[in-house]
Amino acid sequence: MKKNNKPETVILRQKAEEFMKHEPSKISSQLSKVEAILIHELEVHQIELEMQNEELIRAKERAESATEKYEELYDFAPSGYFTLSQNGEIIELNLSGANMLGKERSHLKNSKFGFFVSEDTRSTFNQFLDNVFTSGTKISCEVVLAFNSSSPVNVLLTGIASEKGEKCFINVVDITSVNRT
């Protein structure tokens, strides 16, 4: 809840006051009028804080749910998603990307993506990576992923640099079957 948002604080105050009408007073008849007012104010503020806390708990639960959905969509998307540094190191990747490269995700972080690109298309990849960081627009190219003894995989890379330009986001789509027909 924002501090300087008058309508929300007024509504919160009204709700707390309404709640107080239904609660038996905890104020002793021996207190002065000023003390009674101060205690009433403290009780109202306590209720306001409790209501704010409940709203924060609900907001946290909504945020956690949204994060969980995002992670599921990211990890199980049919395309590989990679976040690369300017020198081509893998910062983050989804499960589909790890499957395309044939390794566990944890073993791929901090690896150079170019290592998985065939020697024939590595210069294309290097030019693509340079263009992603210098152009400021979305760039695409086709390369071949070749690693270990597995068959080469033709992929379409589409990338764009982050706003600050310290990393880029790459979408990798397997187009092997498209190129074979």
Cα(49)–Cα(12) distance, integer angstroms: 9
Asked if 164 and 97 sit in the same domain, the reply is yes
Containing 154, the helix (H) or strand (E) segment is strand 153-161
pTM of the entire structure?
0.66
Structure tokens at 173: 């789509």
SS3 107: helix
- Distance between CA 101 and CA 116 in Å, rounded? 7
pLDDT of residue 54: 93
Q: In the numeric block, which tokens belong to residue 62? A: 């909504």
- Domain boundary, last residue among 54, 74, 94: 74
- Same domain, residue pair 64 and 80: no
Range of the domain at 58: 6-74
| Domain count for the chain | 2
Judgement on whether residues 103 and 175 belong to the same structural domain of the protein: yes
Q: pLDDT tens, 84-116?
A: 999 999 999 999 999 889 889 999 999 999 999
Considering the domain architecture, whether residues 97 and 164 belong to the same structural domain is answered as yes
Residue 124, domain CATH: 3.30.450.20
Distance of CA 133 to the CA centre of its chain: 22
The answer on pLDDT for 1 being more than 60 is: no
Looking at the fold, whether 154 and 127 belong to one and the same domain comes out as: yes
User: By C-alpha distance, which of 55, 40, 42, 44 is closest to 8?
Assistant: 55
The token pair that represents 32 in the structure block:
């002065």
Last residue of a domain, one of 74, 91, 126: 74
Does residue 1 fall inside a structural domain? no
pLDDT reported for residue 160: 96
> What pLDDT score does 24 carry?
59
Per-residue pLDDT band at 30 (split at 50, 70, 90): low
